[in-house]
Amino acid sequence: MSATTTEKRQVPVSIGELAGILFVAAFVLLPIYVTVVGGFKTIGELRTNPFGLPGSWSLSNFASIIGGGQFPVMLGNSLIVSTVTVALTVLLSSMAAFAMVHIRFFGRTHLAALFTVGLLFPVATAILPVFLTLRDINLLNSLWGVILPQVAFGLAFAILLFRSFFAELPKELIEAALMDRCGYLGIYWFIVMPLSLPIIATVGVFTFITSWNSYLLPLVTLSSESQYTWPLGMQQFQGAYSTDWPKLLALLTLTLAPAIGFFLLAQRYIIAGLTGGAVKG
Amino acid sequence: MTSTTIATANAEAGRVRLRINRTHLAAIVLLVPAVVLFGVFVVLPILQALRFSFYDWNGYGSPSKFVGIENYIKVVSQRHFGTALRNTTFIALVSLLVQLPLALWLALSLYRNTWFTAFLRTVFFLPYMLAEIAAGLMWNFMYDGNYGLAHSLADAIGVEPKFVLADPAWVMPAIAVVLVWKYFGFHMMIYIAALQGIPNDMVEAARLDGAKPWQIVRHIKIPLIRSALAVTAFFAITGSLQLFDLIVPLTNGGPNNASLTIVGFLYQFGVTRMRIGFGSAVSIVLFAICVVVSIIYQRAARIVEK
pLDDT (tens digit per residue) in B35-73: 999 999 999 999 999 999 999 988 888 888 889 899 999
Do A41 and A246 form a contact (C-beta atoms < 8 A)?
A: yes
- pLDDT of amino acid B18: 55
Q: Looking at beta carbons, which residues of chain A come within 8 Å of B30?
A: 95-96, 98-99, 103, 184-185, 188
- pLDDT of amino acid B100: 97
Nearest CB neighbour to A252, from listed B38, B48, B138: B138
Per residue in A86-119, pLDDT (tens digit) is 999 999 999 999 999 988 888 888 898 888 888 8
> What residue segments make up the domains of chain A, in order of their start?
13-58, 69-238+263-274
- Long-range CB pairs of B140-147 (<8 Å, 24+ gap) are B140/A238, B140/B165, B140/B249, B140/B250, B141/A31, B141/A34, B141/A35, B141/A38, B141/A245, B141/A248, B141/A249, B142/A30, B142/A31, B142/A34, B143/B174, B143/B250, B144/A245, B146/A47, B147/A46, B147/A47, B147/A50, B147/A245
Number of domains composing chain B: 2
Smallest CA–CA distance, residue A157 to chain B, in Å, is 12
Q: Distance between CA atoms of B55 and B72, rounded to whole angstroms?
A: 11
| Sequence-ordered list of residues with C-beta below 8 angstroms from that of B40, at least 6 positions apart, any chain | A133, A148, A152
Tell me which CATH homologous superfamily contains domain A69-238+263-274: MetI-like (1.10.3720.10)
Res. B283: pLDDT tops 90: yes
- The answer on B48 and B139 residing in a single domain is no
- pLDDT of amino acid B306: 67
For residue A223, the number of C-alpha atoms closer than 13 Å in the C-beta half-sphere is: 7
- pLDDT of amino acid B302: 84
Q: Distance between CA atoms of A62 and A53, rounded to whole angstroms?
A: 17
Cβ contact B131–A215 (<8 Å)? yes
Res. A14: pLDDT tops 90: no
User: 3-state DSSP call for residue B68?
Assistant: coil
Q: Distance between CA atoms of B209 and A50, rounded to whole angstroms?
A: 54
- The answer on B151 and B29 residing in a single domain is no
- pLDDT of amino acid A281: 26
Q: Distance between CA atoms of A271 and A278, rounded to whole angstroms?
A: 10
Output the CA torsion sign for A36, A42, A44, A45.
negative
Q: Looking at beta carbons, which residues of chain B come within 8 Å of A270?
A: 125, 189
Q: Distance between CA atoms of A203 and A200, rounded to whole angstroms?
A: 5
- pLDDT of amino acid A12: 62
Do B300 and B79 form a contact (C-beta atoms < 8 A)?
A: no
Residues A137-152, mean pLDDT to the nearest whole number: 95
Which residues of A, range 88-107, sit inside 8 Å of B by Cβ?
Answer: 91-93, 95-96, 98-100, 103, 105
Is the CB of A255 inside 8 Å of chain B's CB atoms?
yes
Would you tell me how many other CB atoms lie within 10 Å of the CB of residue A147?
23
Residues in chain B: 306
Q: Is residue B139 part of a domain?
A: yes
Q: Looking at beta carbons, which residues of chain A come within 8 Å of B213?
A: 11
Q: Distance between CA atoms of A146 and A230, rounded to whole angstroms?
A: 13
- pLDDT of amino acid A25: 96
Per residue in A202-228, pLDDT (tens digit) is 899 889 999 999 999 999 999 998 999
Residues A14-28, mean pLDDT to the nearest whole number: 92
Is the CB of B215 inside 8 Å of chain A's CB atoms?
no
Is the CB of B296 inside 8 Å of chain A's CB atoms?
no
Residues A31-58, mean pLDDT to the nearest whole number: 85
Instruction: Determine what percent of chain B is predicted with pLDDT higher than 90.
Output: 53
Question: What ipTM, to 2 d.p.?
Answer: 0.88
Smallest CA–CA distance, residue B6 to chain A, in Å, is 24
Q: Is residue B60 part of a domain?
A: no
- pLDDT of amino acid B10: 55
Q: Is residue B297 part of a domain?
A: yes
Do A267 and B133 form a contact (C-beta atoms < 8 A)?
A: no
Cβ contact B37–A155 (<8 Å)? yes
- pLDDT of amino acid A4: 43
Res. B205: pLDDT tops 60: yes
- The answer on B161 and B199 residing in a single domain is yes
Neighbouring-strand partners of residue B65: B56
Q: Would you list the DSSP string of B80-94?
A: HHHHHHHHHHHHHHH
Please return the burial class of A202, using the count of CB atoms within 10 Å of its CB with bins 0-12, 13-18 and 19+.
buried
- The answer on B259 and B142 residing in a single domain is yes
Q: Distance between CA atoms of A251 and B207, rounded to whole angstroms?
A: 51
- Long-range CB pairs of B64-68 (<8 Å, 24+ gap) are B67/B277
Supply angle C-alpha A141, B38, A73, rounded to 5: 30
Q: Distance between CA atoms of A228 and B220, rounded to whole angstroms?
A: 50
Output the CA torsion sign for A178, A180, A184, A188.
negative
Q: Is residue B14 part of a domain?
A: yes
**Which of the residues A128, A155, A217, A253 would you substitute to probe the B interface, choosing the one with the greatest number of B C-beta atoms within 10 Å?**
A128
Q: Distance between CA atoms of A272 and A269, rounded to whole angstroms?
A: 5
pLDDT-derived band at B20 (thresholds 50, 70, 90) equals low
Most confident by average pLDDT, A35-39, A275-279, B92-96, B299-303: B92-96
Average pLDDT for chain B: 88
Res. A7: pLDDT tops 60: no
- The answer on B148 and B34 residing in a single domain is no
Neighbouring-strand partners of residue B124: none
Q: Distance between CA atoms of B229 and B223, rounded to whole angstroms?
A: 9
Nearest CB neighbour to B124, from listed A28, A248, A275: A28
- The answer on B284 and B166 residing in a single domain is yes
Average pLDDT for chain A: 86
Backbone conformation region of residue A276, classed left if phi is above 0, alpha if psi is from -120 to 50, else beta: left
| Sequence-ordered list of residues with C-beta below 8 angstroms from that of B125, at least 6 positions apart, any chain | A263, A270, B185, B186, B188, B189
Cβ contact B46–A235 (<8 Å)? no
Cβ contacts from A onto B, under 8 A: 273
- pLDDT of amino acid A277: 41
- pLDDT of amino acid B14: 55
Please return the burial class of A17, using the count of CB atoms within 10 Å of its CB with bins 0-12, 13-18 and 19+.
middle
Is the CB of B287 inside 8 Å of chain A's CB atoms?
yes
The DSSP element (H or E) to which B55 belongs, if any, is: strand B55-56
Q: What is the pTM of this model?
A: 0.88
pLDDT-derived band at B132 (thresholds 50, 70, 90) equals very high
Smallest CA–CA distance, residue A185 to chain B, in Å, is 6
Q: Is residue B57 part of a domain?
A: no
Is the CB of A228 inside 8 Å of chain B's CB atoms?
no
Domain that includes residue B35, residue range: 2-52
Q: Is residue B42 part of a domain?
A: yes
Do A98 and B250 form a contact (C-beta atoms < 8 A)?
A: no
Cβ contact B290–A127 (<8 Å)? no
- The answer on B166 and B45 residing in a single domain is no
Cβ contact A24–B137 (<8 Å)? no
- pLDDT of amino acid B52: 93
Q: Is residue B254 part of a domain?
A: yes
Domain CATH for B265 = 1.10.3720.10
Range with the poorest average pLDDT among A147-151, A164-168, B91-95: A164-168
- The answer on B122 and B266 residing in a single domain is yes
Q: Which residue of B has its CA nearest to A146?
A: B41
Would you tell me how many other CB atoms lie within 10 Å of the CB of residue B9?
10
Q: Is residue B191 part of a domain?
A: yes
Residues A143-157, mean pLDDT to the nearest whole number: 95
Res. A162: pLDDT tops 60: yes
Cβ contact B52–A129 (<8 Å)? yes
